[in-house]
A and B are shown apart, each in its own frame.
Chain A
């Protein structure tokens, strides 16, 4: 049995998906189940699992790395497969994608390398004879790709919706490469790398790492937002052979759409999306607005003039914070919103044409972005007026400040009425929900479904078969769950059967044998008394009648038969329940086999699943 089938897309992608469950004890079983479901064959080789939490040297990177290594051998072949998780959320990556290579990211790259080296030692892997292969999703590909390219950690790296690497990061990580760039482009400081025309830098980078010996494969959804945006920010896809898959046929490709929107607008969208996402994670919508605008929208419960005056009089520190926050944050937000507003027709028309939003949503978004831009401009003017009136010292100071503070009513009105009004209309239009599908295209499940052929599909981590038997609507059967039910059901019924046999034996031992034993003991004692009556003279009370002697004893004792002591009926009931259980499970299996009677594989799957 060759190990090649482990590299089938559906096998390794499901393995990666399972690894996210962080349950190393179940990885061996999960591997064998996935292998069976995807190849129709039982994996009869050896599988050993090593988790990063057991690796002492990887613990140097404390909680910043999670990975699982599988040592798999069969018929003389022995390979190491390493699955690395990327621990940052997507919003963190939208920050990082611009260029800075964060400290945690660098450590994840080093941890992926150290864990792989430790796993090689743990499983005694000889690199001359065995392949070291890395399986990844999303950011995992970036981390494994970095150490693969720069340090030759892996022979092959596989990724699904994987983020590639950028030359700027490579120059930050690999100092030998940075030196070559300096020499080639005559750079004198690290900032000058940004002045090199990107096409030239990309070509130089690809050439530099061309012969590094690591093969990178990336299977990407054409609707994956991370991939679509990453190319725009200088991530190189030429390192890998990239297979593009249309995972969401209802919409046209996101990348194609993003390519039509000017780069600065994409950058604005990125900035707004990351601020919003970070705030949203911390505390929902209000926190998102706080993050974006630097102002707390909950300062006043509802907008009213009385509220504004009260707010000003009773909570001067909140007023200070709000004005200061707005003063710091507004220019950047306004600049981004303005850029988006100027391009809102292109953005939302493309999203509409792409099938992501409806015509009504497009209209609302264009109108409300216009309103937001107008109100934010007013807000900035009002804030600036207040700040300017405060920004001086002198005898006129207090009066100037007082006049400046009159503008607070305008600030409050815009903050508590006009902006939320626009945002409410956006929320009510359902646009944000419509755009959630974009994130779904980054998932492994959507990719697996796009790759699945025939009647196969996936729900979560499970394989689903669809049958058209019987006319009507197609019937979907979760095969993974069915096989779990079948094997676990059969196993638990077998356990029950064993327990019933043990009970039967115990009833016989404890009741029948004990009765016979006790009966025999009584009979023996009667015999003793009757055969040697004088030995029992005292117990028979001879001393109370001194003139008499015991000459013989005749014991009158009746031993009743053991009645109602059998559990035959109960045991029969138990056996019947097991038999019924078996027949239920077998009927369940037959019903599924009947649904897929043209698919012999189903029957084989059931048979083989019991042998895992």
Chain B
């Protein structure tokens, strides 16, 4: 009986011509070679060397020097991701309805004089940016003074603030549009032991412009708003 089953199945197989295994993202993965090619051409930078971070990166070609394109898993926004940072998979979260997504990324290279940790919180349901600015001040334990940044995306607004009280070493950014989409961007920095406060502040100042460019690169997909 068993032999007959096997023969029947082999015959059917040859008629149908074999079935292929879908890897779940719509592309067919009948062989591992395509993937292998990708692996070979992958840039040798921290972002691509971390498998979790790599899942978010949409191209191996940089969008500008040192940054690769990232797309959120909700599909709600894209940004330029710095090649020398990686995501914290244990801190990642995404609500099943796509209403929010939280991404945390940081410099994995502990030899760096100054390392940044960034918490990016996306929300599809925030109505009033003034209330959000109050919440952000609460999280930084001081009354933050926000200033506008130029946005290249139509309908998007950006504000930026630096912490000054000394309780938190960091900067924040708020990006929003009229579709209730909002990103709260918290970047904090941490200096290597042995560096003086002054030296540390100097490095932080010089690197803040790079952080600002990440905030400015954020683009919402308005089709994903609630």
Interface residues of A (CB under 8 A from B): 57, 59-64, 96, 99-104, 106-107, 110, 113-114, 150-151, 172-176, 178-179, 182, 186-191, 194, 305, 309, 312-313, 316, 319-321, 323-325, 327-328, 386-387, 390-393, 397-398, 401-403, 405-406, 408-409
Contacts and interface: CB of A to CB of B under 8 A. Distances in A.
25 contacts: A60-B126, A60-B128, A61-B125, A62-B126, A62-B180, A103-B95, A103-B123, A110-B138, A113-B135, A114-B131, A175-B141, A187-B190, A188-B110, A188-B115, A189-B115, A190-B91, A312-B12, A312-B16, A313-B15, A316-B19, A320-B22, A324-B24, A390-B20, A398-B18, A406-B9
Nearest to A101: B93
A316 B131 contact: no
A398 B20 CA distance: 10
B95 A60 contact: no
A102 B95 contact: yes
Interface of B: 5-6, 8-10, 12-24, 30-33, 88, 90-95, 99-102, 104, 106-108, 110, 115, 117, 119, 121-123, 125-128, 131-132, 134-135, 138-141, 167-170, 180, 186, 188, 190, 193, 226
Contacts of B121: 103, 106
Nearest 7 Cβ contacts at the A-B interface: A103-B100, A401-B18, A402-B13, A62-B125, A100-B93, A60-B131, A189-B106
Contacts of B6: 406
A148 B102 CA distance: 23
B139 A402 contact: no
A103 B99 contact: yes
Given A57-B128, A175-B140, A100 B18 contact: no
Given A62-B226, A387-B21, A403-B10, A392 B31 contact: yes
Contact of A191 (B90, B125, B138): B90
B126 A176 contact: no
Given A62-B226, A172-B104, A408-B9, 17 more contacts: A60-B126, A102-B100, A102-B102, A107-B123, A172-B119, A190-B106, A191-B90, A191-B106, A194-B90, A316-B16, A320-B20, A324-B24, A325-B24, A386-B21, A391-B31, A406-B9, A409-B5
A176 B106 CA distance: 18
B190 A182 contact: yes
Nearest to B140: A175
A179 B167 contact: yes
B30 A390 contact: yes
Nearest to A325: B24
B188 A104 contact: no
Contact of A106 (B14, B102, B104): B102
Nearest to B101: A103
Given A57-B128, A63-B125, A190-B117, A174 B139 contact: yes
Contact of B139 (A60, A101, A173, A387): A173
A99 B90 contact: yes
Contacts of B32: 391
Interface centre among A151, A179, A390 (most CB of B within 10 A): A179
A309 B93 contact: no
Nearest to A171: B91
A17 B190 CA distance: 46
Contacts of A107: 100, 123, 125
B101 to A, nearest CB: 6
A61 B100 CA distance: 12
Contacts of A393: 30-31, 33
A174 B119 CA distance: 12
Contacts of B226: 62
A324 B23 contact: yes
Contacts of A188: 110, 115, 190
A400 to B, nearest CB: 8
A323 B12 CA distance: 18
B22 A321 contact: yes
Interface centre among A61, A179, A186, A189 (most CB of B within 10 A): A189
A397 B90 CA distance: 40
Contacts of B91: 99-101, 172, 190-191
A522 to B, nearest CB: 74
B119 to A, nearest CB: 7
A321 B101 CA distance: 27
Contact of A305 (B5, B14, B33): B5
A398 B12 contact: no
